[in-house]
Structure 1
Amino acid sequence: MKLWGGRFTKETDKKVDEFHSSISFDQRLYRQDILGSMAHARMLGTCGIISQEEADKIIKGLEEVLQDIEEGKVEFDITAEDIHMNIERLLIAKIGDTGKKLHTARSRNDQVALDTRMYLKEEINNTVKLLKELQKVLVELAKEHLDTVMPGYTHLQKAQPVTLAHHLMAYFEMFQRDVERLLDCYRRTDVMPLGSGALAGTTFPIDRQQVARELGFAKISANSLDAVSDRDFVIEFTAAASLIMMHLSRFAEELVLWSSDEFSFVEMDDAYSTGSSIMPQKKNPDVAELVRGKTGRVYGNLVAMLTMMKSLPLAYNKDMQEDKEALFDTIDTVQGCLSVFIPMLKSMRVNRERMLESTRRGFTNATDVADYLVRKGLPFRDAHRVVGQMVLFCLSRGIYLEDLTLEEFRQFSAVIDQDIFEMLSVKSCVERRNVPGGPAREQVLETIKRAEKLIESDYGQ
């Protein structure tokens, strides 16, 4: 008989048990469920709702159940539906009728909300730690490549010269926003819902603050209806996770491109590459490709949860059971991708010479020539047109701006003098962009200093 089966005259159909049960996936909440139950039992004893002796017996029994689970001695029962009822059954089997008093003044509705919030708080912190590890790798690589000049792109066309350090630190900023979003999400997850009951609280004189303090929550929920029906915090985490995956996917896409023969900017370590079953010469950046591919499943989880919640009346509905698999899969996917992306990036080999040569061959110094003409008195729009004509001239002859003679330059504008050649070095083009946030060495060093402080600060720990 089900623990809720008093008003029923027959057992549920076996297919319904299988369809209805969530123990196959929510069993990962066992630790949070037991810790939450221990805090609840302790509060029931303190408030005199059950005797102190009963509370102590329940807590001791729960400790033993926890130990049994972690030692692999427990096989969860599908007929008990979920982790909450499985734990309660195990407790009753261990300590007898006293275990039946544990569920006084609570419902599975506020219980599952509690477990999910406790679990997600921990996983937010774990995800932040991984992001900070990735940021550390980015900073270390940036230090190594302060002077590694590479082409910057717009529209995947060579645009202006930057350094690899500057490029890598752009991703640092993306992941920093991800850290900040997760920490902001943590604040809204850090709300204790237990005591909301099924939807309308309880008639027992409970102390919700005691439970919140024991479980490390910052505050308690303000409305019992909202507390049991809210999954905003799950959706918000999955939205933040989707942005993390989007940033990883963009980075992965660039690494896939850069490792191609056409670019040859980087080479993935053998440990993070795979081969072909038919083509013996192949070395495929499969790790980066798979990270890029897994982004879609996290997006799908976000859409699934938004769709699940969009038409639900207050308060709890069984539809909300569907949040667990989507949440767990999102956590596993994001953390799994970060865990393999970090060492892949750290072991990557950079072809500095190829990057520099590619920069020289792409007219990436054209804007600097236009700026030179502006300093000589031409309006920028006229300077833009003149340099465009220079580029067209070079293209027709298969040469680059740095190949032009002074006489050839002066065919396009009489204001050009010998100092034009100082403008053409792609390295000097980078160093002249010495503005806050720019790619000049001095500015990137400042960015790195700021980044190191952010990584080491309490913010995000």
Structure 2
Amino acid sequence: MNSSIKLWGGRFLKKSNPLFQNFNNSLHTDYQLVKYDILGSISWSKSLLECKVLTIFEQKSIENALKILLKKVSHNPKLMLNSDSEDIHSWVEFELVNMIGVLGKKLHTGRSRNDQVSNSLKLWCKNIIYKLIEDLKKIQYTLVLQSEVSYKCIMPGYTHLQRAQPITFAYWCLAYIEMFKRDEQRLKDSLLRINSSPLGSGALSGTFCNINRNKLAMDMGFLTATNNSLDSVSDRDYVIEFLSIASISMMHLSRLSEDLIFFNSGEVSFVELSDLFTSGSSLMPQKKNPDALELIRGKTGIVYGSLISILVILKGLPLSYNKDLQEDKGVLFSTVNIWRNSLKIAELVLKTLRIQRFNCLKSAYKGYANATELVDYLVNKGLAFRDAHHISGKIVLEAIKKKCFLENLDINIFKKYSDLFELDVYNKLDIVSCIDNKSSKGGVSFNQVLKSIKNIKNSLYFSCIN
């Protein structure tokens, strides 16, 4: 059977315009779904056997041929790109007919490309979600390893890009672990909504074959079948949800990149990025640019664009299937490539960076990051918080005038503002004390950070073995 013949050609007297034919074809994009289309077709053949459309011999012949085809495309996923087939569904059917003759034409009984493509796309999404969950675990594990070696590395924490309170580099790492844990959880949650098969919905109103759709769905690894065929063939909520999760996760990667770009800058020098993930200037020989991180930050905008694209594609579509939906796969596949590559690059950047511990500590002493401890000190002595805050601000002004740290001020200056100050205030202003005072759950104290590291490592370990 010639692959240029269309699955829908019987009603037409003229051939398609070559420009339209090229415009209409999706093989160059949806070839990535061919494995899942074949797996769905194998399951469909079993359902056709159960409802007596196929004999046992016919079903086995079709299944064996499809398995041979599956092996071919597994070795060469781009095998069909030299074909002039309209899409993967056409290509699989034509290949099947070439292998087993007219029997191959029976496979499409009772189904439509409308339910086929959604089914294949859902199977693809399920598979890639599991891979992305593993990618997210890897970057969390890299961050927790950095936390272990840097839990005593004190650095300033920032608000408004101004030094705020002292934290540790490990604590910074743990913050991003929380973000990537939420991304992982969102992906797991999305599986609940993607785990229903549309196969058997037909073009829009179901199929004449008495298919056990729930059994068919479970044979392909879904939990159940969808409930309404009209919705099933045009539903792309799962694509929107996936791209939304991708956008949130890329935002987290972009924030991490921005932090590391700042930490790596000459003005701060908290970390030094490896030569492996930086580049130089064609003009200025001294430059070492954080290009890998800047590219993650830039590619985040492309992923946001993909989310907007699918929302705009879908916003005006009437029920049920419309050819606009062909455009969903390009934005989805490109987003997955960007997301997975960005996670891998970020993981490697984190593995290979060098923490400049002395610079971190030196910077933590600047900016009066321990001023909040003055407030807490006075509050613990019985003063109202608002009054303690006001007095502490006045003392900071004194230190600024004298160009010295708070802990270098004479005790008489403290007493000038409140008789509650005693010599023990200097212990409270010590930077290590500032860290260890924050000992409640989620705080920056060394013990809390070590507890968090242990809990995260256990969580990652048990999730991997399960």
* TM superposition score normalised by structure 1: 0.97
The answer (yes or no) to whether the contact 2:35–2:74 under 8 Å persists in 1 is: no
Q: Hey, what's the Cα distance between the residues in 2 that align with 1:78 and 1:412?
A: 84
> Match of 1:12, as an amino acid?
S
Correspondence for 2:299 among 288, 294, 302? 294
Describe how 1:206-285 pairs up with structure 2 within 5 A. Answer: 206-285=211-290
SS of 2:81's partner is coil
**CA deviation string 1:345-381 (max 9, x = no partner):** 0111001111111011120100001111222232211
Mapped contact 1:142–1:166 kept (Cα < 8 A):
yes
SS of 1:97 mapped into structure 2: helix
**Structure 2 unmatched runs, 5+:** none
Q: How does 1:188-207 map to 2 (within 5 A)?
A: 188-207=193-212
- In the alignment, does 2:70 pair up with 1:66? yes
Residue in structure 2 matched with residue 379 of structure 1 by the alignment? 384
2:139, 2:465 → 1: CA distance? 13
CA shift, 1:93, in A, is 1.5
The answer to whether the aligner puts 1:368 opposite 2:373 as a matched pair is: yes
Query: Is 1:355 aligned to residue 360 of structure 2?
Result: yes
**Mapped contact 2:6–2:90 kept (Cα < 8 A):** no
Q: Which of residues 390, 396, 399 is equivalent to 1:391?
A: 396
What are structure 1's unaligned runs of at least 5 residues? none
Aligned pair in 2 of structure 1 residues 442, 71: CA closer, same or farther (>3 Å)?
Answer: closer
Question: Hey, what's the Cα distance between the residues in 2 that align with 1:198 and 1:260?
Answer: 57
After TM superposition, give the deviation of residue 17 of structure 1 in Å.
Answer: 0.7
Residues 1:14 and 2:37 aligned together: no
2:132 pairs with one of 114, 123, 127: 127
Mapping of residues 89-108 of structure 1, within 5 Å: 89-108=94-113
What amino acid sits opposite 1:291 in the alignment?
I
Query: Corresponding residue for 1:30?
Result: 34
2:371 & 2:79 partners in 1: Cα distance? 70
Secondary structure of 1:418 counterpart: coil
C-alpha deviations, 1:395-440, integer Å up to 9, x for none?
Answer: 1222121121112222222221111111111111010111111001
Whether the 8 Å contact between 2:180 and 2:249 is mirrored in structure 1 is yes
1:37-76 aligned at under 5 Å gives the runs 37-72=41-76, 74-76=79-81
Distance 1:311 1:24 in 2: 26
Q: Tell me if the contact between 2:51 and 2:209 (Cα under 8 Å) persists in the aligned partners.
A: no
Which amino acid counterpart does residue 274 of structure 1 have in structure 2?
S
Within 5 Å, which residues of 2 pair with 1:426-445? 426-445=431-450
Superposed displacement of residue 49, structure 1 = 1.1
Moved more, 48-57 or 174-183: 48-57
Specify the SS of the correspondent of 1:346: helix
How far is 1:207 from its partner? 2.2
Report the 3-state secondary structure (helix = DSSP H, G, I; strand = E; otherwise coil) of the residue aligned with 2:165.
strand
Decide whether aligned partners of structure 1 residues 77 and 203 sit closer, same or farther in structure 2, where only a CA change above 3 A counts.
farther
Q: Kindly indicate whether the alpha-carbon contact (under 8 Å) linking 1:21 and 1:78 is maintained by their aligned counterparts in 2.
A: no
1:452 maps onto 2:447 in alignment:
no
2:341 alignment partner, SS class = helix
* Aligned-pair Cα RMSD in Å: 1.5
Q: 1:153 deviation in Å?
A: 0.9
Q: Is the 8 A contact 1:179 1:460 kept in 2?
A: no
AA aligned to 1:228 is V
Q: 176-185 vs 61-70, which deviates more?
A: 61-70
Corresponding position: 1:407 with 2:417: no
CA distance in 2, matches of 1:307, 1:454: 39
Report the CA distance shift for 1:456/1:123 in structure 2 as closer, same or farther (over 3 A).
same
Matches within 5 A, 1:306-325: 306-325=311-330
Matching residue within 155, 159, 162 for 2:160: 155
Moved more, 369-378 or 116-125: 369-378
Q: 1:143 to 1:438 in 2, by over 3 A?
A: same
Tell me if structure 1 keeps the 8 A contact 2:31–2:80.
no
How far apart in 2 are the matches of 1:169 and 1:116?
35
Give CA-to-partner distance per residue, 1:82-126, whole Å, 9 cap, x none: 111111111112211111111001100000011000000000000
How far apart, CA to CA, are the structure 2 residues paired with 1:76 and 1:47? Answer: 35
Deviation of 1:343 after TM superposition, in Å, equals 1.3
Alpha-carbon contact 2:214-2:225 (below 8 Å) kept:
yes
CA distance in 1, matches of 2:126, 2:312: 24
1:341 is matched with 346
1:87 aligns with 2:92: yes
1:400 to 1:52, Cα distance in 2 relative to 1, 3 A = same
Q: Report the 3-state secondary structure (helix = DSSP H, G, I; strand = E; otherwise coil) of the residue aligned with 2:424.
A: helix
Letter in 1 for 2:127: E
Instruction: Say which of 120, 127, 149 aligns to 1:115.
Output: 120
Q: How far is the alpha carbon of 1:71 from its aligned partner?
A: 4.2
Identity %: 43
Contact 1:17 1:79 in 2 (8 A): no
Q: Report the Cα distance in structure 2 between the residues aligned to 1:213 and 1:152, rounded to whole angstroms.
A: 50
Partner SS state of residue 217, structure 1: coil
Please give the alpha-carbon distance, in whole angstroms, between the structure 1 residues aligned to 2:463 and 2:377.
46
Summarize deviations over 1:312-350 as a string: whole Å, max 9, x none: 111111111110001101111100111111111011100
CA deviations on 1:143-198 (whole Å, 9 max, x unpaired) are: 11111111111111111111111111111111111010000011111111100000
For the 8 Å contact 2:80–2:91, the answer to whether it is kept is: no
The Cα shift of 1:213 comes to 2.2
Tell me the alpha carbon deviations over residues 239-260 of structure 1, each in whole angstroms, 9 at most, x when there is no partner: 0010100000000000000000
For the Cα contact (< 8 Å) 2:438–2:444, is it kept in 1? yes
Q: CA contact under 8 A between 1:110 and 1:197: conserved in structure 2?
A: yes
Conservation of the 8 A alpha-carbon contact between 1:180 and 1:460: no
